[in-house]
Amino acid sequence: MSEPTRSRKAGLAVIAAAAVLLLTGLGTTGLWAPDEPRYAQIAEELRSGTHGPGGAVLLRLNGQPYTQKPPLYYWIAAALGAPGGRVSEALARLPSALAGVAMVWLTLQLGGRLFRGRPRAALWSALVLLTVFRFGHVARRVQLDVLLGALELAALYAFWRLFEVAGRAPGTRRWLWLLHGALGLAVLAKGPVGLLPVAVAAVFLAWERHRGDRTARRDIFPAWSWLVSLGPALVWLGGAAALAPAGFLEDSVSQNLFGRFFAGTSHARPIPYYLYQFPLDFLPWTLLWPLAFLVGRRVRRESSEEERRARRFLASWIGVFLVFFSISAGKRGLYLLPAFPAAALLCGASLDAAVHARGGVPAAVRGALAAAALALGAAGGIVAWRGGWLLVEGSGFALPASFGAALAIACGGAISLAIGLARRWPGGDAVLTGVFAGLVAVELSVFALAYPAFDDEKSPRAIALAAAEVAGPGGAVAVFDRTPLVGGIAYYSGRPVVPLSDAAAARRFVAEGGRAVIVLERRLDALRRAGDFEVRASSRSGRRTLVVATPTSARAP
């Protein structure tokens, strides 16, 4: 088998693994609070047409104008749910999962352009991205950042294709349209952060000009391109503002956008936050960062200018995202998700270079990998033998025996695969293939078999259904002092939710015939300032325990 044919088949296998890991079983757990059910409810209100044609422009949550995020993800989810008449859990997650598969494929393609003549570098890079646990977890959730990451990665891939030819080769117009079209969709997905690839390109081009490269910025960012990059979002924002009540622009742009960045009105964190959060989020492949540093030093001395330039591009990419979000007052770990492909490409290329230089994986490393796989497999075997494992006493979180068995099989299979392939494949290919296959199998076991154990804690489905039953047919459901839950309760109860901010609002709700109030168990005393309430149902656990309370005067016979 020729090397190009083998590389194509290996690439298809990587994409198939991504599809299996990210697309299967998306509906096996409920939507986890607070983001997932809220986003699904917005998409469901859009799909249902409850708010008329204008509801496709001015998004609404629980009937109220939604000012937090642009509409692209919700448009896609609503379109997917339209044929079946509902945006189900699986369909709400599908745009994110498809974007995750696209990110793996684009990483493979970009790696092939950055590290020409080294197809394994691209393959290992795509597999590194796929097996970063945080990436797989987020790509299987209703999260806007995965869609944003796929669009920004597409824009940066198109930029690199344009940079390679400096805009002079025929056929470059399609890359111009891909670059700026992807930027325009990225802004529609999550606002101005969708333009960060422009900053990456600017930093990289400035770096290259310092080294004598005279790539013309106007070839890549012509004047008309801003109509494509900004036009769709501006048209949507203008339409939404025209339909919205007064104050929409102030809430969506001034308070939401600038407030998050400058004042930290949401998820405020200190400036050094990403110095520890990024390494945690990139596990297990943070372990390769020292190797990437050592290989990078060697590349500066020994490798071609082409590879050094590729590494400068990836360094610019990571640096821009790190600096921008470190300066921002509001921070979350997943904000750096669009930079994961750059880190994966550096790790994959460095892994390939190190294995190639040594002619294989060192015996000590092979031994450590085998020991880790055996230890993890033994732990899985113990869980299976015990019939499950209660994680926290009294919590109800028990890992099922099936998960333990799957873990043991995954680890044993990875070792067997590596040993079997070692007879056919040279160098370290067999060992690395076994490692990546084992990680994919372990993550699939976690997502399919372990996550359901956490469903009652994470999903508001049970408490929403209990509240709907207590409220009775057509009865109202209220949420006391827990605004982030409103979207999830509305999604699962199938009815509008009344948010109650204090005891006075609770008294009015009861006076108007309301029966079902969802409240944190530890906030029951605050609710009872409005009157005598009794608990009719509860769900979740610990400090997250939610109860359905009803006024004693409304007790059913």
- Chain centre to alpha carbon of residue 533: 40
The mean pLDDT of 395-400, rounded to a whole number, is 71
Count the residues in the chain: 557
Q: Which of 149-153, 359-363, 510-514 comes out lowest in average pLDDT?
A: 359-363
pLDDT of residue 399: 83
Contact 65, 13 (CB under 8 A): no
CB-CB contact of 344 with 130 (8 Å)? no
Could you say which DSSP state residue 71 is in? S
49: left (phi over 0), alpha (psi -120 to 50) or beta: left
Residue 295 CA to residue 282 CA, distance in Å, equals 19
- What is d(CA 238, CA 432) in angstroms, rounded to the nearest whole number? 51
Residue 557 has pLDDT above 50, yes or no: no
Nearest to 33, CA basis, from 540, 537, 398: 540
**CB of 142 closer than 8 Å to CB of 40:** yes
pLDDT band at 319 (very low <50, low <70, confident <90, very high): very high
Mean pLDDT value of segment 290-306: 77
| Per-residue confidence (pLDDT) for residue 556, from 0 to 100 | 44
CA within 13 Å, CB half, 301: 4
Percent of the chain residues past pLDDT 70, beyond the cut: 90
> Does residue 120 have a pLDDT over 70?
yes
Burial, 48: exposed, middle or buried (Cβ in 10 Å; 0-12, 13-18, 19+)?
middle
CA distance 339 to 362: 30
Q: Which two tokens stand for residue 208?
A: 């290259």
Q: Is the pLDDT higher at 295 or at 130?
A: 130
The pLDDT score that the predictor gives to residue 119 is 86
Residue 381 phi/psi, 5-degree rounding, is -60, -40
Q: 268: how many CB neighbours lie within 10 A of its CB?
A: 13
Angle separating helix axes 173-190 and 196-210, nearest 10 degrees: 130
- pLDDT for the residue numbered 206: 86
pLDDT band at 212 (very low <50, low <70, confident <90, very high): very low
pTM: 0.93
pLDDT band at 360 (very low <50, low <70, confident <90, very high): confident
Alpha-carbon distance of 384 to 401, in angstroms, equals 4
Least confident of 53-67, 242-256, 449-463, 494-508: 242-256
Q: Is 399 left (phi over 0), alpha (psi -120 to 50) or beta?
A: beta
3-state secondary structure of 533: strand
